[in-house]
Amino acid sequence: MQVLYLNMRAAGNRILVVDSRDQRREPPAAAAVRKLAAEHEFDQMMWVLPAQDPADVAAYRVFNADGSEVEQCGNGVRCVAWMLAREGTESAPFRLASPAGQIEAQVLGGSEFTISMGAPKFEPAEIPFIADSASPTYSLDVEGGVLDVAVLSMGNPHCVLFVDDVENAGVAELGPRLEHHPRFPSGANVGFAAVRARDAMDLRVHERGVGETLACGTGACAAVVAAQRLQLVDDPVTVTLPGGRLVVSWRRDTVWLTGGAELVSEGSMDI
């Protein structure tokens, strides 16, 4: 069956948006997703479906290149919003259904979008993370050493380390160890954040099921929320990642992510 796709970029992330609204086809199995990733070289695939709730414009599911399904992708959502906006969706905010709950998207002009990423979750059982109670930071044993980290969910689990500079943060070594740490039953995205000013930070992210990526939208949100809880930054914060810049604001219990989306190519394919 033929489905339409868009190859897109968002802050350096490679996103494949597959439009299955007309066919109402369920996503392929993990092995088929991995094959598609090899062919289209994407970090995440956004599988777009018709909405069940008439208040939603569309629904989507998120898959990493390794075939694993995840709860949310902030950069991928902007690509879905770009596709819908091109179809004539009004500039007023519109709602999408995601595995992590309803989110709101708004076109700011050009290819810039603001996305509501929902409320962060700090209770260990909701992340999920193994701990007796919620805390702004936790101490994790990592191969004989102890690291102080912030842990929260932005629809998916995040572990944030604050470092002096991201260049020497040891992402390749520590990222996989923390992703698979036994206190994260479902794994974790691992962010290495360096605060440069009250309104700016640098960030590198080792993404669960992917490895280090050029950018991670939910990772940027998690890093800013963690920094604000520790009173390290104000609001909003510009987050500089290897793939570009994102702006994060945490207000009225909702985290807002602002950034661009760019079309690279489009076509149709058999799945």
The torsion angles phi and psi of 79, rounded to 5 degrees, stand at -70, -40
- One of 79, 159, 216, 221 is an active-site residue; which one? 216
Helix ranges restricted to H, 12-93: 30-40, 74-86
Tokens of 134: 């919620």
Tokens of 99: 């595995």
Pairing relation of β-strands 211-213 and 237-241?
unpaired
Length of the chain: 271
What is the H or E stretch that residue 159 is in? strand 157-162
* Radius of gyration of the CA atoms of the chain, in A: 18
79 in active site = no
Give buried/exposed letters for 124-139 (b at 16+ CB in 10 A, else e). Answer: beebbbeeeebeebbe
- One of 73, 79, 159, 221 is an active-site residue; which one? 73
- What sign results for the dihedral spanned by CA atoms 210, 216, 218, 220? positive
Closest CA to 221 of 116, 133, 135, 128: 116
73 in active site = yes
Catalytic residues: 73, 216
